[in-house]
A and B are shown apart, each in its own frame.
Chain A
């Protein structure tokens, strides 16, 4: 920014120079930096291969101007994912909570900045902050903000949320588009919201020699989006190498999940789901209770919204068949079911909205406690007092069921 503005006063100053020396002194300084800028050659970039299979290491090398740190920006060019964040943090100046919901559909499915090796201590320092780390502060600290460009260009929509809007389950009112600077700032928060951990967005691997030549082993982990990835070396805001491309190939049974933004072996969720479904029926609780936390624990790359949103319909069908079976023997009180069902309908309308608004950590925290409550309920169901009562209830249940089944048969 500074440099671009710098040229205008210089031209102006060149004219003024004829009239006064004072102005010329300032202009000289500006002219020098502008000159340096032009002299700085764009770095070169070479990749040792153009194809990897479900992750791998790519050796990147090139020549950059001597004495400058080299940053490498890598992003997935073929697939984008959604990133969203609900801003309810108190504003430092006004003390008001903004309650603004930011969302973009254009976040690259993979985005990472590789920085010079010497900067590792700074990354470690940021890690000490735990979950409260700030992406923008980290980039600035590393000097890598000059290499931050792709997510900054994404189109971000912001919504003013209100309590009322949440109740009817809408995102709120769409706010006017943000200016470039604001959009850039918000995009950084979305990067963090999407990729969560520091290790996913930065790594100190670039080895820069004093003469300006650099090498880096760019590790692309497995389970990422397939397709073309773009990679660019950056030494300054305007001084970038050409964009190099490599391709990440995945093959069946690895399948890319478009909404989740990750690929995974499709047999894992199948097997997992099978075990969970069996166990769920045995313990008398829907599989969702175990499936969700297991998925979150085993596949940290899956966003919690997608996990919740995909497990729910899975549960739906087993419920449907259960209802069908019960209704055949007239074992459902429609008045009671529909009455409470109406209240639950409203709750079901609001819930998914809330999933979107909370972060993964809040999701895990709340779910953790829900599971503990559930465990307590289960434990209570194994206490002798409950069992005695349950035995009676179960025998009545069986008796009624038998009668109901006979009645249903009699009709046919």
Chain B
């Protein structure tokens, strides 16, 4: 499939994109996360698209997934209103505060801390400790 973005044309392998997107969507909706960190590498590495094209479009693709999975989770009674009301304002507030902090910290450091944090969490889930 050919797409045009800001005056440039890109050739996109939609088969790979759709299969990858489908699998990521199952996984992310199943476990309740966004899926951005998987979609971005899929689109940049597997589809060879430039970053500036990917940032917005991947978000749009993920939005489809998240809205449907929200609906489905709600339908299955997995949604808890009070719990949501406790987290939602905090998430919005966090979204405002974060850019202020982002100016002061190096993304490299954050990513490395995140790495360690994720591994610790993963080991906890896997029951290692």
Residues of chain A having any CB pair with chain B under 8 Å: 82, 169, 255-260, 266-267, 269-294, 296-297, 305-323, 326-327, 331-356, 363-372, 374-375, 377-379, 381-382, 387, 390, 393-394, 396-397, 400-401, 403-404
Contacts and interface: CB of A to CB of B under 8 A. Distances in A.
Contacts of A351: 25-31, 69, 72
A367 B31 contact: yes
Interface string B16-44: 01110111111111111111111101010
B94 A275 contact: yes
Interface string B95-123: 10111011001011011111101110111
Q: For the side of the interface on B, what is the size category? A: 35 or more
A400 B36 CA distance: 21
B79 A310 contact: yes
Contact of A396 (B50, B58, B65, B121): B50
A372 to B, nearest CB: 5
B70 A312 contact: yes
Contacts of B53: 333, 336
A397 B90 contact: no
Contact of B125 (A293, A334, A340, A344): A293
Interface of B: 1, 3-6, 12, 14, 17-19, 21-39, 41, 43, 49-53, 55-70, 72-84, 86-95, 97-99, 101-102, 105, 107-108, 110-115, 117-119, 121-127
B77 A82 contact: yes
Contacts of B36: 284-286
Given A344-B65, A368-B126, A308 B110 contact: no
B122 A284 contact: no
A283 B32 contact: no
B33 A315 contact: yes
Contacts of B91: 273-274, 276-277, 287, 314-315, 317-318
Contact of B19 (A288, A315, A343): A343
Most chain-B Cβ atoms within 10 A of its Cβ — which of A259, A309, A345?
A309
Given A318-B91, A371-B125, A381-B111, A259 B56 contact: no
B76 A356 contact: yes
Contact of A345 (B25, B38, B110): B25
Nearest to B6: A400
Nearest to B117: A290
A270 B87 contact: yes
A105 to B, nearest CB: 8
A306 B78 contact: yes
B73 to A, nearest CB: 3
Given A326-B55, A371-B125, A266 B82 contact: yes
A346 B41 contact: no
Contacts of A370: 27, 31
Most chain-B Cβ atoms within 10 A of its Cβ — which of A257, A277, A305?
A277
B64 A344 contact: yes
A372 B76 contact: no
Nearest to B84: A310
Given A314-B84, A347-B29, A348-B28, 12 more contacts: A273-B86, A274-B94, A280-B98, A297-B121, A312-B32, A314-B88, A315-B91, A317-B91, A331-B55, A341-B65, A351-B29, A355-B31
Given A281-B98, A285-B34, A307-B32, A353 B72 contact: yes
Contacts of B69: 312, 348-349, 351-352
Nearest to B15: A343
Given A339-B14, A378-B118, A282 B33 contact: no
Nearest to B19: A343
Contacts of B108: 382, 387
A255 B81 CA distance: 11
Contact of A274 (B68, B90, B102, B126): B90
A260 B80 contact: yes
Contacts of B27: 347, 351, 370
